[in-house]
Amino acid sequence: MGLEFIETLQSFEEYCNKPKMLFCESIPLSKIRLETDEWIEADNVACVFVDLENSTRFAINPTQKEKEFFAWYGDTLIRIFHRYETKYTDFQGDGGFALFDSKNSLKDAFDCAVTINHFFNYKHEIKVRIGIDIGTIYTKKVGVRGDNKEIWLGPVSIASKLCNEKSGNLRNMRISSRFYENLSKYEKSFFKKTSNFYHGGIHWENKSI
């Protein structure tokens, strides 16, 4: 049975035999289909990725209070994402991300990240890491009927990596160079360059709304 099943799986070359790409101005979730070679491509999509620091304590025998805390953290994060009109949200363990694809995607993502930074890192002193990127995103569904999921290439991958950068103050947001280049001169003043990204501890008390 195992060998027979393996024989039904495509090689990478077979999978790539007839690649297709559908370009869209925004992320058309209804068009991300299963069992097709078609990828969805959309420009100017921003991603905010958030990761809870030292969350391994929730993994083994969490207390009732820890369970409630984790639920509150996730619920609050989703609420903030939707306050800034996210198009798509997802959680990966203790990390969550949101995608923004409107004409104001950069501003929506930036203000969303500032709010998250202010609420968790400054107001409640709950350590979270934040990574942000913007660019062309590629997505499709993988899996089987009844068990499938969207996969994302582009800003999600970069924002996730930035989120996990350990250099600098933990409360500093980490943004990609291409995101930084699109900020206003005033907003840029809060960030410093480190390696190939920028970091800054911006929050609503030091940023004019």
Q: What is the pLDDT along the chain (209 residues), one digit of tens a residue?
A: 444 644 554 554 555 555 555 566 666 666 666 666 788 889 999 999 999 987 777 778 888 888 888 888 888 899 899 999 999 999 877 889 999 998 999 999 999 999 999 888 888 888 999 999 999 999 988 877 877 788 899 999 999 999 888 766 777 899 999 999 999 999 999 999 988 899 988 778 765 44
Q: Name the E strands within the chain.
A: 20-24, 38-52, 88-92, 95-100, 128-144, 147-153, 173-176, 192-194, 197-200
Between helix 64-83 and helix 105-116 the angle, nearest 10°, is 150
CA distance 188 to 203: 13
Closest CA to 54 of 106, 149, 126: 126
Rg (CA), the chain: 19
Tokens describing residue 84: 């800034």
Q: How far is CA 79 from the centre of its chain?
A: 15
CB-based contact 133:179 (threshold 8 Å): yes
CATH architecture of 22-27+36-200: 2-Layer Sandwich (3.30)
